[in-house]
Chains A and B, each alone.
Chain A
């Protein structure tokens, strides 16, 4: 089936995006978990605030699956507020007047850091599926190269939610001497079967779109918009909660007084999901979505440590604060609690707070005063112990 009317790739070219970028791996490629080697590659990142003279006030914020490095500024593509402006900024819990905040676009993503839509140096054509499969550990390895490059010996804190929380756990486990405090939020030490299942639905939706062209859509001037939009719609449901959906939409009809006995978006919730899907494809690359969901699926911190999660944190000097939300069914509190139990088993310094919220997994991105207060308190306590001004 040909689709000549299909709009070509409309994603903003990453070179025109604001922020910083550094190239790594030209001389020595990055060896990935898969055994493949990647290099050269670009790391795109954004910073807020000022690094102090002792280089002690650096806070690394790790973004989630569809997030990016534009944490606390108007997004250059969508013109929407930064994804964590509720938490990051002057006078906010992650206070940019006090901390030097770094956020790195993860490996495999599509906002400037090298990913499957970038040119493969071997062919000059976009990588597509020739891009090596990456893992959360690979993302963190790449971030560590950047932190080394910035001359930061020890990060004051590494924070993140969801896939960002997986990176936080990986940082604390792989480089405990480089992290003073760690805040894994709404996350787990492994991706559950249910979560892998949802990701598989998303990937199959993308791959079933004829415009996907076995991952070669860029070279062919096409874009699997419909597949990616369906993937986003399915995933978006998992970020909310039944009660949040009910309160927001109920069974309300969209711009009509009665059902149409057809398959248009009669219900507001359908219209909302369609909008979520169609706006997502304007800013996200379908192959990136495949690679990043795969990275989350492969994450299993215990498996890498003989099946015992506590071994991932043996003798850890890191101060932890775990946060979960009552209505999050994607990463329920039990996932955080399992991490807490493992940290207790090594007598680690750990705080754990479950926040009452009906906003589901997305709660960590939204205005939740009790969450903000927890984060402020933990950071203030940690800063006092670290001797930060």
Chain B
């Protein structure tokens, strides 16, 4: 362990942005005020702050993730989407982002309600449990589905509230949330618009939705 290296800020993470994060970034206007809930190692935030001039903040559950983010100069706090969103005032951010986290929250309905309250726009991405591979694994094999976007076994998955695209659509309608735009990513990472929800629900592995309340 070199003492000198320990003191320096961490370097920017190398490599291109993950495909779903790049698509989320494209939905965010430059210079916007953004809260990334469940920001992980800060890859999206770092891109937004450094390349898009965004005023970005993050919340992350894992302390290791938070420390890595702050050491890279990002404004991130240790916190929990389930309990800590209520502190923020309404319309505090231009965009609130929740990527690949909704299904791991204890109360997704409440979290979604809080997100559209504190963000003028909200971007949510989640794995689609209606994808044909998931359905096939359960129908044909009779086992809990594992797929490239849901790799964990049933006994150690953090995902406790999985949903399909149609389920998600129902919840937004119930909460009075408008889906302004939605994309699905298929297994090859190709993004498509949602002309048909039913079709998207079969072939989309992940869904990215841009939401606003009302």
Contact = CB atoms under 8 A, between A and B. Distances in A.
Interface stretch (B7-15, B141-149, B177-185, B204-212): B7-15
A93 B7 contact: yes
Contacts of A370: 67, 71
Contacts of B79: 340, 352
Contact of A373 (B9, B63, B75): B9
Contacts of B92: 347
A374 interface: yes
Contacts of A344: 77, 84, 87-88
Contacts of B66: 352-354
A144 interface: no
A92 interface: yes
B37 to A, nearest CB: 12
Given A91-B4, A347-B88, A353-B66, A377 B9 contact: yes
Contacts of B8: 373, 376
In which size bucket is the chain A interface?
20 to 34
B78 A377 contact: no
Given A354-B78, A377-B71, A377-B72, A349 B9 contact: no
Contacts of B186: none
29 contacts: A91-B4, A91-B7, A93-B7, A340-B77, A344-B77, A344-B87, A345-B87, A345-B89, A346-B89, A347-B93, A349-B75, A351-B69, A351-B77, A352-B76, A353-B63, A354-B66, A356-B63, A370-B71, A373-B6, A373-B7, A373-B10, A376-B7, A377-B72, A378-B73, A381-B72, A381-B73, A381-B74, A381-B75, A382-B73
A1 interface: no
Given A344-B88, A353-B66, A374 B6 contact: no
Nearest to A341: B87
Nearest to B77: A352
Interface string A55-95: 00000000000000000000000000000000000011100
B141 to A, nearest CB: 42
A369 B4 CA distance: 10
Interface of A: 91-93, 319, 321, 340-341, 344-347, 349-356, 369-370, 372-374, 376-382, 384
B114 to A, nearest CB: 12
Given A91-B7, A373-B9, A350 B75 contact: yes
A345 B87 CA distance: 5
Interface of B: 1, 3-4, 6-10, 55, 57, 63, 66-67, 69-79, 84, 87-89, 92-93
B75 A377 contact: no
Contacts of B70: 321, 351, 353, 374, 377-378
A354 B62 CA distance: 11
Contacts of A355: 67
Contacts of A321: 70
Contacts of B10: 373, 377
Main SS of the interface on chain B? mixed
Contacts of B55: 349
Nearest to A373: B71
5 smallest beta-carbon distances between A and B, as pairs: A381-B73, A377-B71, A347-B92, A352-B77, A344-B87
Given A91-B7, A319-B75, A353 B67 contact: yes
A353 B78 contact: yes
Contacts of B69: 351
Nearest to B50: A384
A369 B9 CA distance: 11
Contacts of B1: 369
Contacts of B78: 352-354
Contacts of A340: 77, 79
Contact of A369 (B6, B77, B84, B87): B6
A351 B75 contact: yes
Contacts of B72: 377, 381
A376 B89 contact: no
A91 B84 CA distance: 37
Contact of A349 (B57, B63, B71, B88): B57
Nearest to A371: B67
A345 B90 CA distance: 10
Contact of B73 (A346, A352, A377): A377
A349 B79 CA distance: 14
Nearest to B71: A377
A356 B7 CA distance: 17
Contacts of B77: 340, 344, 350-352
Contacts of A356: 63
Nearest to A319: B75
Contacts of B88: 344-345, 347
Given A380-B73, A382-B73, 18 more contacts: A91-B7, A92-B7, A319-B75, A344-B88, A345-B87, A349-B75, A350-B57, A351-B76, A351-B77, A352-B66, A352-B77, A353-B70, A370-B67, A372-B6, A373-B6, A373-B71, A376-B9, A381-B9
B23 to A, nearest CB: 26
